[in-house]
Structure formats: C-alpha cells, structure tokens
C-alpha cells in the first residue's frame, strides 16, 4: 500500500503538475502529493473517534429520530432549546487523546440538516438557531490543533428537512414539499457549506460523506455530481482527503475506503462485502448500538471486545473509527469515558504493535491476527487454542519473544511450518508475541 502511494506521488512529480491536471481532466484521479501524505499519516494512526452529535441528541433516540415520524417543522424547534452547558472541547479532545486516538470525525451536519457550525446559509445552526450560540466546531477545531489531533468532518449528502433536496429512499414523513425539489439549488448549498468548512476551520484532514445510498442505483438513477465536488475539496485544501460511506467500492476522487459496522471483507451488518481496495481502510463502528445518543441503548461492548476489534482491524491494515454519541448536555457518556480510559491504558503499553503497522502477512487465524513493521511481526494471540501456534507456511520466523516482558520464546518446526511456543500467561486481552522474520 505504502509504496503504491509513493510511486503515485513520484509519478505525479515526475510528470509535472500540468500533466497531472490533464490526467484528472481525462477522468483519472491522480492524488496530489499533499493528499498522499495525508493518506500516509492517516494509515499510521489506526485509531480515531467518531462523534455523532446534534439536536437529535436531545430526543435521546439516535440520529435517525426525524425519519421515524416527527414533522420537520416540529422537530426543528428543538434547536431553540439546545443549550449543551457542559460542552468543553478541551475535555473532549483530552479524553480522546488519552485514549490513544489520533483523530476525530464529527458530524457537522447529519440527515436532519442541522449545522453544527456558524453557517451563513441558514439560521438552522448552532450559533444562530440555539440559545447556546457558540460555534462548537470552531472550539473543537482549535482544540484539536492545540492537542495535535487530526480533524475529519462528517457531512450528510441527504437532507430530511430542506425542500430542495430531491427526496430519496428515506425521510418520507417529515412533511417536505417534494414539488419544490431543486437539485441545482441543493448542490449549490452543499458546496457553499463545504467551502465554509474548508476555509474557516483550519486544516481538515478529511471530509467524510454519508447518504449517497439515499439515491443509489437500485433507487432512482441520480447524478450526485461527485467528481466536481471532490475536485473542489481537493482544490480548497490540497491535503484534505475524501471519504464516502456509500457502501460501494471506492469512486474516483476518494482517498479512503470506508466499511460500516464490519471489518474489511466481512459483511455481518449487510452493508459491506465490497472488494478491499488499495486505499487506506477505515472501519467505523459503535461502542453500544446506535451512533447518536440513545437513552435506551446502554448495551456497551466491554473494553476487551473493543480492544480486540481495534487489533483485528489493524491486522487487516485498517483503522478503527469508534463512535461516541455525546449527551444533550454536551458531555461524553460515562460508559464511553471509562472505555476510552481502558483502551488508552492498553495502547499506552502496546501501541507500538498497532500504530504505523501494516496488515500481517497472513489472514486472521483462529487464534488471532498479526501486524508488522518490516521484518518485525507481531502475533496478537487473543484466543489461544494450545500452548503453541502454527505459523502459516509463507512466513519464516527467526526468533520470537513475549512483547510485554522481552522474554525469549522457543521456535520449532512442524514440517514446513514454524511453530511459536507461547509463554504461560493468565487471561489477557491480547497476548502479543514479537517475532523477527526472515525477509
Ligand atoms: C449510516 C447512518 C448514519 C450514521 C452512519 C455512520 O449511514 O445513516 O446515521 O451516521 O451510518 O456510519
């Protein structure tokens, strides 16, 4: 993967910017050197936190609440009562940083159309439309810059409130006037908003789109005009990556391949199963069941499950974007904070085997998975089946040691396979064995 980026970048530099532009005009997306650099940094990060926060949080029923009955004209009144008195960007970013996460992706505008920044496009936003009156995105972006956390912005392509958004598969009961659908008006609105986001909030490392599936090929054929939009993003901030949660193989102009609620190549949630591309990969998933704050959803995965999920993602060369739904008062749920702390403790000890690693040289095995850095191979043994593990044939082990203690471990042979003998340990989240491999 890594070499691919550099090859592209070098090629781009070698053939010169003009030729690159010509190629883009001819339809091929040639990522800029700045974007290639962002991809590298992103792929090294391995762990980010997703934040689903908006006026939907006030209803405590998840971010899709508007889709399930309320009329938009009633729903939007919630904005007038939104006063998240406990919002503190420094505390959010601090807790996320201590968890070992390297970036944040926040919902700037979800399907309910409410803007969490001071947009000039309408008053339905955090500054003009609420008594709170503070631009939380400004505060968050400044805090991210201060604490060295990269910022990605979620932006919904679909809108359940605006009449000019041509109605798709969802949001049919919100009372929009479908006769007023006007794609050009809506597209212009989105692009002006994206421009605000990309010019007023410092470096944005990625725009994370969602909602394309509202008009996918199975529904009405629809021209989303993505190439021009992506080009605008890359022009406004040359290092900004584009990601789109469309549940398809990546489209030209995209820099990240997203998987929702599944590891790359898996499809337990029914949204994935796309071929895994050579782009940097990201799996997003929830800590409990819902993205936005949901009062009835206290079914949080324990930190062992979350740590193992992060390890499994890394073993596939993917980042984990783990979601938190902040509460209506602006604080992060205690259940989420305690998990952040535990993941942070674990990464503090073991981050070297996760950050800036590549996928292991073989697929996940029944005992666990692996990551690597050059000829340092990290075996992540999560469910040992005996006191030794048989290494897939393609990998030859020179020596092995327990990562936590440095204690040397025996390596033997079984036919053409190498066998690594495990140390006696108690119940651990992930027994890590560091091996040196033959090249
Ligand atoms: C889905 C949902 C949305 C959520 C997103 C996160 O597309 O529509 O509510 O924001 O997934 O991955």
Q: List the residue whose alpha carbon is closest to atom 7 of ligand 1.
A: 210
Expressed in angstroms and rounded, the spacing between residue 55 Cα and the centre of ligand 1 is: 16
Give 368 Cα–ligand 1 centroid separation in angstroms: 29
* Residue to substitute in 291, 293, 325 for testing ligand 1 pocket (most ligand atoms within 8 angstroms of CB): 291
Nearest-atom index, ligand 1, CA of 63:
9
* Ligand 1 site, CB within 6 A: 52, 63-64, 210, 245, 260, 284, 291
315, 359 in Cβ contact below 8 A? yes
Q: Which atom of ligand 1 is nearest to the CA of 154?
A: 10
Helix (H) / strand (E) element for 259: namely strand 257-260
Across the chain, mean pLDDT equals 93
Angle at CA of residue 369, ends 289 and 361, nearest 5°: 130
CA 280 – CA 103 distance, rounded (Å) = 15
Ligand 1 centroid–CA 52 distance in Å is 9
State phi, psi for 106 to the nearest 5 degrees.
-115, 145
Query: Within the chain, which residues score under 70 in pLDDT?
Result: 1-27, 217-221
Which residue, by CA, sits nearest to atom 8 of ligand 1?
211
The pLDDT of residue 16: 33
Contacts for 35 with CB less than 8 Å, ≥ 6 apart = 234, 238, 239, 240, 241, 255
Q: What per-residue confidence (pLDDT) applies to 426?
A: 81
Question: 267 C-alpha to center of ligand 1: Å?
Answer: 16
The SS3 of residue 206 is: strand
Tell me, in angstroms, the distance from the centre of ligand 1 to residue 280's CA: 20
């Amino acid at each position: 993967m890594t070499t691919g980026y550099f090859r592209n970048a070098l090629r781009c530099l070698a053939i010169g910017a003009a030729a690159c532009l010509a190629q883009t005009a001819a339809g091929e997306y040639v990522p800029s050197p700045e974007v290639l650099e962002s991809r590298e940094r992103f792929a090294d990060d391995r762990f980010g936190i997703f934040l689903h926060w908006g006026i939907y949080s006030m209803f405590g029923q998840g971010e899709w609440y508007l889709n399930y009955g309320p009329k938009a004209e009633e729903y939007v009144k919630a904005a007038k009562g939104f006063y998240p008195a406990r919002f503190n960007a420094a505390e959010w970013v601090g807790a996320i940083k201590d968890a070992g996460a390297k970036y944040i992706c926040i919902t700037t505008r979800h399907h309910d159309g409410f803007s969490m920044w001071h947009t000039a496009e309408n008053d339905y936003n955090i500054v003009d439309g609420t008594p709170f009156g503070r631009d939380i995105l400004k505060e968050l972006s400044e805090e991210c810059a201060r604490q060295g956390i990269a910022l990605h912005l979620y932006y919904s392509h679909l809108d359940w409130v605006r009449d000019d958004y041509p109605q798709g598969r969802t949001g049919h009961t919100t009372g929009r006037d479908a006769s007023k659908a006007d794609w050009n008006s809506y597209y212009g609105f989105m692009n002006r908003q994206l421009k605000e986001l990309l010019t007023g909030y410092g470096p944005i490392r990625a725009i994370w789109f969602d909602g394309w599936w509202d008009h996918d090929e199975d529904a009405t054929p629809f021209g989303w005009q993505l190439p021009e939009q992506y080009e605008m993003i890359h022009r406004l901030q040359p290092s900004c990556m584009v990601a789109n949660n469309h549940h398809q193989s990546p489209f030209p102009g995209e820099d990240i391949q997203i998987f929702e609620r599944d590891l790359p190549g898996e499809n337990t949630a029914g949204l994935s199963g796309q071929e895994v591309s050579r782009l940097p990969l990201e799996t997003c998933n929830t800590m409990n069941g819902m993205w936005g704050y949901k009062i009835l959803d206290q079914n949080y995965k324990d930190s062992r499950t979350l740590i193992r999920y992060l390890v499994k993602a890394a073993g596939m060369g993917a980042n984990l974007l783990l979601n938190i739904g902040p509460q209506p008062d602006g604080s992060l749920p205690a259940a989420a904070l305690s998990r952040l702390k535990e993941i942070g403790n674990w990464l503090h000890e073991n981050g070297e085997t996760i950050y800036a690693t590549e996928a292991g040289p073989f697929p996940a095995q029944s005992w666990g998975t692996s990551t690597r850095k050059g000829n340092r191979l990290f075996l992540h043994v999560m469910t040992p089946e005996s006191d030794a593990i048989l290494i897939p044939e393609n990998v030859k082990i020179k020596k092995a040691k327990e990562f936590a203690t440095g204690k040397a471990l025996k390596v033997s042979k079984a036919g053409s396979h190498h066998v690594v003998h495990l140390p006696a340990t108690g119940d651990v989240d992930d027994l890590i064995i560091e091996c040196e491999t033959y090249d």
